[in-house]
Structure 1
């Protein structure tokens, strides 16, 4: 019964990106310089600017988001209130063709990697806890990881550093060609792969951060689940979803990082891709009017669906409270202001077996035909319109059914020709 209900289609809901701001403590370098604190949390959703009088004229006095976390808040609290709902939606089948995502955004040295590491670990732990609590379902988890370094996409699960190509798939959207995808054996296997990713990622020292991330990192977990009672019976439905954990490289100024040579080149690529991300967010927050420049960077192209498609998305903006970073912090908040106005469409995706799909379409066809045979009161003034509408619905169902069989037939013919071609080639 559960699988039949799942096979009924897709449940769609419109919602905004969940936007949080995390204010980190003043670090040792800032304390040595005597930098004062310019920001404070004035409540669970409000950030207050404490600047001097001239600066107050340039900045709003306060900013409001879905959640604001002060320096005393733990990463566990940030996860529970700013990411958990989005992360665990992967267990509900949101979504299949696109990606639900959790981003960490902010200037370099603001705590993005520290935050995302904790968010990822808490998410994975709860996903495995959920699996343990649902022995009636069969789960398959797959993991992949990539980084975007100097606008080149690299596989973090492979020692091969050859840049990977991005391809356009009519159903899946942008896909990364030849990206390694590991089927997870257990939680321990996942932790091993996370350690590999950490070791492979590009990091370097700048004046602001001794271990600065020099690339954007995307960790992707795909979850498939089916009710065990229907497995192997040909009429099973599978919930599919994936979630991205995105640790963005930090925006930076060469004057602050004292970057030169390779570090300067890295910073230039980082800032360019973040600028494109900002343009996309601003365009989406304004109602999607006009061209949206997804293809202007590898980052926005890969994450296009998470930003404005069938997805649920959370963005955690990290920032320093120090006076020397006021302008960069303000830029982070402007990005957050735009992001909180972006609307996405989340839907539960169900992948049905051929037999289950045909059964579903046949049931729908029978229902519509019965409504035409027994329409109820013929005196209804809109009766003709109702009949016409039902006729159109029947035509649509028939078209879907015929199209489904054509796809299967084409696949079988193509496979037959391909296999025979290989045989002839071998004989010749």
Structure 2
């Protein structure tokens, strides 16, 4: 099994107040340098680091949504249709452009984000595969204040209980959310309608850095099953594409959050802290225990981070001087993520009919081998059909004699 590192891309939010004196970005070398002045009044001993240098897989500086999709998203569609799991995560401070990257803006078609583009690309690819039977189902999960919500459920969010949804692991160790709605989507239009339905139910708040701040972590998942229309004995693959919009980390002193917004910020920062602990643990070769179960977010991302998935992280930064500390924090997290190795494998579904046909084929081949062996041993008269009822009773008697009467051997060859 070949392990592959998590791919990390950094996307900058366009701004007229770009911090040229603090941040230097070179997309050609895929590098970012940060120059931070030491804080005054920080005591006699000041060990604050002044300069940081990072190198990532891709730097998306003032890039369009088209470019972001081409660099980070398009390849995942073919990969999941081949049976591999895929995950795309957006991470960064509040207001840095995570939700815009993932779902996009509504004012212009060109502003549509990764999810609607992934959906369009998926159904375009399905149209080009008439020899395959491909089914798509959609789920949309929200983690709000450490409570899981089903955004596509017929039960209103206000009436949903956290006990309705449970994170479990199947026999192969894959993470599954029991009770989560998983709705068939036969067309691109149906999948987009489910996306928009879930978007309407998401938890949104307002503070000084963002007028429409996501107050929860959201996971939009495309569940895909692929079978051949031509070869009945071909394998059936099942895979999932997780599109994860993480809530933004916040410095409460800057957002001036109060009341419910402050409570939400505390839950968000706590869960992101647990995610960082998991990332640090995965990067430590000497750590045996990885604390995935500390929060619902980390447990849900067990497949995506260090598990069975091809994963890309888009780290969103806001390159202004006033957000320099948040930018450094985001880049540190992204730098840790790129050191994590995943084990992505093709996910095969056990189809009973295919399994029966394989067993029947193996039986035929074994009978042919036995017939050949008998022919070489001059036992051409031996057959390997089923026993008659009379023969079965005789075999039972002989076995009983062997077990209970001390007979030294059981000869059933004369029945064949």
Taking structure 1 as the reference length, what is the TM-score of the superposition?
Answer: 0.75
Aligned pairs (5 A) from 1:364-379: none
2:9 equivalent to 1:20: yes
2:33 equivalent to 1:38: no
Contact map agreement 1:19 1:82 (CA 8 A) in 2: no
Structure 1, unpaired ranges of 5+: 1-11, 375-428
Shift of 1:356: 2.3
SS of 1:264's equivalent?
A: helix
Shift of 1:47: 3.3
How far apart, CA to CA, are the structure 2 residues paired with 1:84 and 1:243?
Answer: 12
SS of 1:94's equivalent?
A: coil
Contact map agreement 1:294 1:304 (CA 8 A) in 2: yes
Aligned to 1:106: 92
Cα offsets for 1:406-427 (capped at 9, x unmatched): xxxxxxxxxxxxxxxxxxxxxx
User: Which deviates the most, 39-48 or 110-119?
Assistant: 39-48
Count of residue pairs the alignment pairs up: 347
Change (3 A) 1:18 1:35: closer
Shift of 1:362: 7.0
How far apart, CA to CA, are the structure 1 residues paired with 2:31 and 2:170?
Answer: 42
Change (3 A) 1:283 1:52: closer
Change (3 A) 1:325 1:244: same
2:72 equivalent to 1:63: no
Larger radius of gyration: 2
Shift of 1:265: 0.4
Change (3 A) 1:258 1:339: same
What is the aligned-residue RMSD (CA, Å)?
Answer: 2.5
Change (3 A) 1:236 1:42: closer
Aligned pairs (5 A) from 1:337-416: 337-360=335-358
Contact map agreement 2:34 2:53 (CA 8 A) in 1: no
Aligned to 1:168: 168
Shift of 1:42: 1.0
How far apart, CA to CA, are the structure 2 residues paired with 1:45 and 1:248?
Answer: 28
Aligned to 2:385: none
Shift of 1:36: 6.1
Aligned to 1:94: 84
SS of 1:134's equivalent?
A: coil
SS of 1:307's equivalent?
A: coil
Aligned pairs (5 A) from 1:245-324: 245-287=243-285, 289-324=287-322
When you count helix as a share of all residues, which structure comes out higher? 1
Taking structure 2 as the reference length, what is the TM-score of the superposition?
Answer: 0.77
Structure 2, unpaired ranges of 5+: 40-46, 104-112, 374-416
2:124 equivalent to 1:129: yes
Shift of 1:197: 1.2
SS of 2:309's equivalent?
A: coil
Change (3 A) 1:58 1:362: farther
